[in-house]
Amino acid sequence: MIPQHQAHHVILGAGLIGCYLGGALIHSQQKVTFIARNSFKRIIENGFTISDYKNNAFDVPLTFSAINDHELNNLEARADVLWLSVKCTALESVIPTIVDCISDKTIIICCQNGVANHKIIQQAFPANIVLRAMVPFNVVIKSGNNFYRGSEGHFVLECEGSASDSIKWLARQISSSLLPTDTSYHMTALQWAKLQLNLGNAVNALADIPVKEMLSTRVYRVLIAKMMEELLQVTEKKQIKLPKIANLPNKWIPKILFLPNFIFNRVAQSMLAIDPKVRTSMWWDLHGGKTSEIMYLNQKLVKTALQIGVDAPINAKIVDFILKAEEGDRVSPTAFFEWAENAIKNY
């Protein structure tokens, strides 16, 4: 159970999402400790702001502690709730750090993209309740210390078993204009629905343009629509009913993306209601020379499709492009656009 007074929240891997989440928790009067790399630790210690595309904002008061993973002896108390906000690629590497942050009563909440990646943590910590959170929005840094949410969506916490009442209570406590929060008993289906939306992250990285510009370009929209259709074939064969996490049912989204520009711009205004400078996390990974989450996103779809006898050739090619880019052999944006035009020529 989560203590209903002065619960201690520890954000492990406080980067873009983790800092925004921690700021929103503090906004909701929660006790928070950030564990972050030194670059983010300095930002946190100097004071920061969280804000969003709807012009909500909060100056985070210095009522928290920030440490790095070499200063765990300075952790004031073990976490009541550990928010694991590292990327999928880092899950196994942070297990030793988690050991020093938790007790057997700690609820661990995994905020990763992809489907069922929390099982790595469940296997490592079988005595703890390990749940999932779905983060539908992206966050960037603006003006040096402003963590800015540039797109819509409700933060969703998994309800399961004996922890359900505590999680519902927690969701009510932390929900705000800066972090609208819901709960779900169907997190695997929700993660597949989120994965559908995340398939375009790689297109954004390869196109090398902001998300809003990508969605305004029909070639890229149709390419993403075809990628989504491959996922929908998989979820249909696996009999997974996808919940609606955008303003449209998931099966309708490809149809909207197929529309000509002059119609799309009229009917998809909410889809375009994002900051014009926002790019996806995979774009930032490639430009920062980091390993992307492609193996947990598009490749998860490709692997599942192969297992059940469904073809996913567009996603498979996108995976190939990203893996080559990570090795330093990146296709130029012009060449990628030309490939995309050829890939959708029948549409």
- pLDDT tens digits for 288-333? 999 999 999 999 999 999 999 999 999 999 999 999 999 999 999 9
pLDDT beyond 90 at 266 = no
Domain boundaries, the chain: 8-185, 191-343
Of the candidate CATH numbers 3.40.50.1220, 3.40.1440.10, 1.10.1040.10, 1.10.10.10, the domain formed by 191-343 belongs to 1.10.1040.10
Which of 97-106, 266-275, 278-287 comes out lowest in average pLDDT?
266-275
pLDDT beyond 90 at 345 = no
Please tell me the predicted confidence (pLDDT) of residue 273. Answer: 67
- Distance of alpha carbon 318 from alpha carbon 344, whole angstroms: 14
Q: Tell me the CA end-to-end span of the chain in Å, nearest whole number.
A: 53
Residues 6 or more apart from 142 whose CB is under 8 A from it? 51, 148
Q: What is the mean pLDDT of residues 71-90?
A: 93
Say if CB 315 and CB 227 are below 8 A apart.
Answer: yes
Helix then strand then coil, % of the chain, to nearest 5: 45, 15, 35
Closest alpha carbon to 51 in 112, 142, 135: 142
Write out the H or E segment, with its range, that includes residue 336: helix 333-343
Average pLDDT over all residues of the chain: 93
What's this model's pTM, rounded to 2 decimal places?
0.90
Please tell me the predicted confidence (pLDDT) of residue 144. Answer: 87
The DSSP output letter for 249 is: -
CA distances from 204 to 72, 176, 221, 284, 336 (A): 37, 30, 11, 10, 11
Q: Which residue has the higher pLDDT, 140 or 117?
A: 117
- Distance of alpha carbon 264 from alpha carbon 271, whole angstroms: 10
Please tell me the predicted confidence (pLDDT) of residue 92. Answer: 94
Please tell me the predicted confidence (pLDDT) of residue 247. Answer: 74
Q: What is the mean pLDDT of residues 155-161?
A: 93
CATH architecture of the domain 8-185 equals: 3-Layer(aba) Sandwich (3.40)
In the block, which residue shows the tokens 């079988």? 126
Percent of the chain scoring above 90 in pLDDT: 80
Please tell me the predicted confidence (pLDDT) of residue 281. Answer: 87
**pLDDT band, residue 6 (cuts 50/70/90):** confident
pLDDT beyond 80 at 346 = no
- Distance of alpha carbon 317 from alpha carbon 236, whole angstroms: 22
Say if CB 157 and CB 166 are below 8 A apart.
Answer: no
Q: Which residue has the higher pLDDT, 153 or 208?
A: 208
